[in-house]
A and B are shown apart, each in its own frame.
Chain A
Amino acid sequence: MNLLESSVLIWLVSAVAGFLGALTGLGGGVVVTPVLTLLFGVNLRYAMGASLVSVIATSSAAASAYLREGFSNIRIGMFLEIATTLGAVVGAFLAPHVPSAGLAILLGLVLLHSAYLSTLPRRPSETTAVADALAERLRLGSTYPTPDGDRRYQVRRVKGGFAMMTGAGIISGLLGIGSGAFKVIAMDQIMRIPFKVSTTTSNFMIGVTAAASAGVYLHRGYIDPVLAMPVMLGVTAGSLLGARSLAGAQPRVLRLVFGVVVGLLALEMIYSGMTGKF
């Protein structure tokens, strides 16, 4: 296969990944790395670099749509970005010292977790009316639009959320993914921020987190322009199309199917890592 053919093929696969990722809310970047390594035999670290770049593209492109709706909380996002960017830089510095097999297995486990989440119905957890002292001092509470007008919410367990966000950042820097699932857990489950605010703020944060490790990746030579080009263009086109056809709906069957595909990729990734194929 020559470079033109493989570029077109990688563009197509990335576009499908971006489309399904946006449609199911799992994010397109997360499946790009296993597809590139398992199907195209791309080196894991190049695949991670290309995935990281496409993560920034989807976050920045989608953030403008979410922001207009007034869901995302810029204070919460900015405060927690201290944790995610620090974690991301640490993760990116650690990445070269972790053997590829270890990274592959870790990515497989993260994917398995994403696949498991995608099969669960989205149940918003209980929100809270009482802020903890730190949330009060940081003025993290805000309002979000509902059909019955703006509703106020408060934020709890800021320290726990901050710790979880540091972990999300490390995973992001290690694997070149957005780790949006972990960010949502930190905000939704730990800090009791309304689900819709959590997901949109998470998406907003992903780009900044990824930019923090992108500097390190670029310097290390993990971002190969020839590979990143079709991946970035494909994921961006696919996810924009996916976000447009989403229109607020969460197609349950599609989520299940995509969850199974991601799960299988995850198992293959873990198996390949354990049998020393990386």
Chain B
Amino acid sequence: MPALDQHKIEQIIGVLLRAGVALAVLVVLAGGVLYLGRYGEEPAKYRSFHGENAHLLSVAGTADAAFGGDPAAIIQLGLLILIATPIARVIFSVFAFAAGRDRLYVGITLIVLAILLASLLGLVQAK
């Protein structure tokens, strides 16, 4: 792949990442304002580890609750968008390398993508 193409691709990836972070920040902020508006007066407790609410452990559960207006789920949805930004970059890179007919790097990028999705698979299968 010519060097110029690669730099062009990197620019697009940069814009993609920044847009993802901006969206994540907005969603987390919205959820945070809602959450603090509702529960801000309650005592803060971060001390004990008990695992988060079961429905927030899966993508589907989080999305369902978030669109139902649950503030904690809206925050969690924003965090999921954030976690998705580097994954979106990897997916985009697969196509970019494929467009450059770079089979070796399409393969390498698919391996990385497989590892990322395997990690997230635990998310998809709700406990």
Contact = CB atoms under 8 A, between A and B. Distances in A.
A208 interface: yes
Interface string B19-48: 011001100110110011001111110111
Say what secondary structure dominates the interface of chain A: helix
Interface in A229-245: 229-230, 232-233, 236
A89 B10 contact: no
A82 interface: yes
A89 B118 contact: yes
Contacts of B28: 229, 232-233
Contacts of A6: 44, 46
B92 to A, nearest CB: 11
Contact of B46 (A46, A60, A67, A139): A46
Contacts of B48: 43
Interface residues of B, number: 67
Given A3-B40, A3-B42, A208-B89, A67 B109 contact: no
Contacts of B111: 82
A225 B76 contact: yes
A2 B42 CA distance: 5
Say what secondary structure dominates the interface of chain B: helix
B112 A60 contact: no
B57 A81 contact: no
A75 interface: yes
Contacts, number: 199
Contacts of A86: 115
Given A1-B43, A64-B15, A74-B9, A92 B119 contact: yes
A42 interface: yes
Contact of B120 (A4, A78, A215): A215
B113 to A, nearest CB: 9
A42 B108 contact: no
Contacts of A89: 115, 118-119
Nearest to B83: A214
Interface stretch (A22-30, A104-112, A186-194, A216-224): A216-224
A36 B120 CA distance: 27
B17 A61 contact: yes
A143 B10 CA distance: 14
Contacts of B39: 3
6 contacts: A7-B32, A53-B83, A89-B115, A214-B83, A226-B72, A233-B25
